[in-house]
Chains A and B, each alone.
Chain A
Amino acid sequence: MHMILHGTLFTCLPPYLVYLPFPPYNTLMPAITVQNLVKTFTSKRKAAGFTGSLRALTRPEYQTVEAVRGISFEMENGELVGFIGPNGAGKSTTIKILTGILNPSGGAAQVLGYIPWTQRRQLAYHIGTVFGQRPQLWYHLPAIDTFQLFGKIYEQDDKAIQQRIKFLAEAFEIEHLLETPVRKLSLGQRMRCEVAASLLHKPKLLLLDEPSIGLDVVAKQRIRDTVKRMAETEGVGVLLTSHDAGDIEALCKRVIIINHGSIVYQDKVSALKRNYLTSKLVGVRYAEKVPDNFTLDGVEILKTGQYGVKLQFDTRQTPVEYVISRLAEAGNLVDVTISDPSLEEVIRAIYENAE
């Protein structure tokens, strides 16, 4: 059937009129390629008050906002990439361009071989989306109803979709929740249903925008584990935006940090930790009272209590061994805790450096 279509169509039609009946991507191609993507918004500016409104009517002034300023990156098939940045950094504008909802002002992008803004509907069959702030499940209906509806919308075979629902219900542990109206589910349960819904049509790429917003630690962990497992077993690429560095740490191998519309950092998560997570936080507790003027060379004392001290040091300048042995010599140690600063703090440091 496809062969016949191609044979006849290719000979009598100019190539740009031929829509391939199967996706044009292959597994060797990157899932996402973005080159010098630019997006500027123009909006009318209006001065305050009545005269301002009048002037806006007769002689409108326009201002342009550069939401995305020439970003470039690639994402492989099946890769898990974190896309982070503060509010207004250009994350969601980029995501909207990649799903084909917005036209870029400049630059090029391909998603699964499609140009999103000219082939939005074809692309939609192959990507899944979850917006933490925008539930896609019908609020008053049980999740199973939305699942069936999505099966139809994505033109899945009836029998195949039943199996898929069963499979995903097990994977996300939501079998017992499927028949409850979504409004009666807890946020964590609802989010598991949301993510499961986005995978019904076996997308090649999953765009998760703030999937863990408002969730408690346990619920977050559950979502992360399942997404990771699904991505690995089905080879789904995941582009994840989040404010929660924990999401990125748990899920992603690579991270892209964006601020003011430009990419400020792009590397493996492990490299990010190696290069930036060089300081250690240490807390100690002693059996006897600690002198008020407690000091140690190469170490910053954060807090001195009656029986305990909190301190921080850079492992590149002060060896861990030196600090611990000095602390042990100082008195009768009761307790020691050593921790890394959170990825969150690291990211904050990167933002500050970029500014």
Chain B
Amino acid sequence: MLHTVARSTSKYSAIFRTQLLNSFAYPADLFSRSVSMILFMWIFLQLWRVTYGAVGMDAIAGMTLRETMWYLMITEMVILSKPRLVNNIATAVKDGSIAYLLNKPYNFILYQASVSLGDSILRMAANALMGGAVLWLTVGAPPGPSSWLPTLVAILLAWFIDFCLSALIGLLAFITEDISAFMWIYQKMILVMGGVLIPLDFFPDWLKNIALGMPFAYTTYAPARIFISPNPGTIASLLALQTVWLLVLGGLLATLYRRAEKWLSINGG
């Protein structure tokens, strides 16, 4: 049993490492793509500076301009580093190339997770560097280092929750030919209900509660919120909710994938 686990771990970590090497093949591309982070941060800064000025208060819902900006840096960093998983899976299903990914002794979903994580991590680092540099120069230093470790954990959990949701949408390609509508809805839900554009704390309570009852907030809001308020209570409850969502969605994905493997044998070819 232990032996099997060890072999699987080294299998999937090798896949992850190979993708890391692959991403390093074009460092210039990696960094040029994260330049958009500078642009986004600059636009957000202008927007929120005006808003804070108009409101005439130092803090909105308890968040200062500096905190709001660092919050937005985390949410942007997370969504700009996403792998193109939905598209990849859907294309593989539609053109039948999934067949060529299935002829090796690994679990297809874990394979995708390893590749996608290797793809995301470097981009995330580049985005954090760019976005962080802009904010440090404009609004000042990030929150203290005590929140950094829980934020890293929350980012990882958030990444896996997004992976599950994206993979679930990708697998819909087995049932319906065009999944772009689902993808569009998912992206917009993240932008609004995930608190990417506006921190969820700025919402009226009823809307904030609805958002916190859906999985989207745990892919973006949770790590950003933990980063700016290292309050042990908030950290613990957000991490716990992330874990619950990850288990639920992971279970759903595993079940659906097993069904999809059977559909494949009917529709593929």
Q: A residues touching B (Cβ–Cβ < 8 Å)?
A: 39, 41-42, 67, 93, 96, 99-103, 117, 120-122, 124-125, 129, 131, 134, 136, 138, 140-141, 145-146, 148-149, 152-155, 181
Contact = CB atoms under 8 A, between A and B. Distances in A.
Contacts of A153: 11, 14-15, 104-106
Contacts of A138: 18, 22
A148 B14 contact: yes
A121 B105 contact: yes
B25 A140 contact: yes
Where chain A touches its partner, the secondary structure class is mixed
Contact of A103 (B97, B103, B265): B265
A10 B25 CA distance: 51
26 contacts: A39-B269, A41-B267, A96-B99, A96-B269, A100-B103, A101-B265, A124-B103, A125-B105, A129-B103, A134-B97, A134-B100, A140-B22, A140-B25, A141-B18, A141-B21, A141-B22, A146-B18, A148-B18, A149-B15, A149-B18, A152-B10, A152-B14, A153-B14, A153-B104, A153-B106, A181-B25
B7 interface: yes
Nearest to B13: A152
A152 B11 contact: yes
Given A138-B22, A149-B18, A102 B265 contact: yes
Given A124-B104, A153-B14, 8 more contacts: A93-B269, A99-B103, A102-B268, A124-B103, A125-B105, A134-B97, A136-B100, A145-B21
Given A153-B104, A153-B106, A155-B7, A103 B25 contact: no
Give the interface centre of A96, A99, A148 by most chain B CB atoms within 10 Å: A96
The size class of the interface chain B forms with chain A is: 20 to 34
B47 interface: no
B103 A101 contact: yes
A277 B106 CA distance: 46
B141 to A, nearest CB: 38
B265 A117 contact: yes
Contacts of A103: 262, 265-266
Contacts of B266: 42, 103
B26 interface: yes
Nearest to B107: A121
A134 B100 CA distance: 8
B102 interface: yes
A124 B14 CA distance: 18
